[in-house]
Structure 1
Amino acid sequence: MVSYRRVFVPGGCYFLTLTLANRHSTLLTDQIGLLKESFKYALSRYLCHIHAISIMPEHLHMLIQLPEQQCYYPKFVQSMKSRFSRGLTKKSPTQCQPIWQSRYWEHCIRDECDWLNHLDYIHRNPYKHGLVKQVSDWPYSSFHAYVKKGILPDDWLGEEDVNGDFGELS
């Protein structure tokens, strides 16, 4: 069996990719209210700041920042995934198959350039997957907050060749 090692840095910033077990599902966007409630619940239990997020129908990407003394983010991820799964089971008691892939992609952000590459990747992801013609057309993204703050223009498309491994199948 493969042994996975995660990097734990107190106060670290992490890029995470979480994926549903069924890669053809649209549960995350179909159940966006439950997903938001699940995030709210997890954030109330495990303090961290979400710098950026983009929610696709069957996977999501996010950049999270941990508090200065905290280095253990898996409890936050587990709490959110568990809350979402339990909520779905309440809505549909026949739901008994796994909802999430058991593993998830994690990358500890190394520097500002790495942070910016991952931020761009997150915001560009719906466009990359052909879900929209403009990044601004996707409603389930923190891109809109960056536009509202004047950090990014509404017509931003980002760089096509963002460097890095983002935990997604090509």
Structure 2
Amino acid sequence: MHYRRDYTPGATYFFTVVTFGRRKLFNHPDKIAQLRLAFSDEMARRPFHIDAIVIMPDHLHTIWTLPTDDLDYSIRWRNIKRSFTTTVPQEQRPVVLGSRQRKNEQAIWQRRFWEHRIRDENDFNQHVDYIHYNPVKHGVALRPVDWPYSSIHRYIRNELISPDWGSNPINLSDKIGHE
């Protein structure tokens, strides 16, 4: 059975993108800066809005809203991944074997990504909470606000969320990220 992606023009999507072999590529501020540059370059070419994001050491979660007449998030991900990949020195790239070698692919990212079209405001809010709580879930921060690579700081600045949100355990839906 083949997975069919949901391509709806102007929709809002939750994505999970993972590094190849769960390598901790985003564990240094320089790598985060390079990833942010890849995002901003692609946003300049093909606009989209980042509603929420968290960059973890070996993966990221984000919510994007596409322009009204646009449905092509796949090309955006391809370009972001490609742009970031060019910043990884050759000696830091794993040896590529098998089908990746035949297809001239690098072992920086998992080939695919997870996407879920946001259905309504409740779905949106649950996914934003999942994104912002992810550093606590994975044990890299005691509180969501302690993780520097998260849109929670923008949400706090804009008074959309309290600075102490997530300081106590949050009960998240088991279905998020597994839809």
TM-score for both structures, normalised by structure 1: 0.90
SS class of match (1:22): helix
Query: How far apart are the structure 2 equivalents of 1:145 and 1:69?
Result: 27
C-alpha deviation, 1:71, in angstroms? 1.0
Query: How far apart are the structure 2 equivalents of 1:11 and 1:72?
Result: 10
C-alpha deviation, 1:167, in angstroms? 4.7
**Corresponding position: 1:78 with 2:78:** yes
Q: 1:116 to 1:132 in 2, by over 3 A?
A: same
Query: How far apart are the structure 2 equivalents of 1:20 and 1:167?
Result: 18
- 2:149 paired residue among 122, 127, 140: 140
Q: Is the 8 A contact 2:130 2:176 kept in 1?
A: no
Match of 1:27 in 2: 25
SS class of match (2:145): helix
In the TM superposition, structure 1's runs of 4+ consecutive aligned residues that sit over 6 Å from their partners are none
C-alpha deviation, 1:151, in angstroms? 0.9
Query: How far apart are the structure 2 equivalents of 1:50 and 1:29?
Result: 21
Q: Which runs of 5+ in 2 are unaligned?
A: 97-106
Quote the sequence identity (%): 38
Match of 1:12 in 2: 11
Aligned residues: 163
Structure with bigger gyration radius: 2
Query: How far apart are the structure 2 equivalents of 1:133 and 1:163?
Result: 20
TM-score for both structures, normalised by structure 2: 0.86
**Corresponding position: 1:119 with 2:116:** no
Q: Which runs of 5+ in 1 are unaligned?
A: none
SS class of match (1:29): coil
Deviations 1:61-94 (A, max 9, x none): 0000000000111011111011000111xxx223
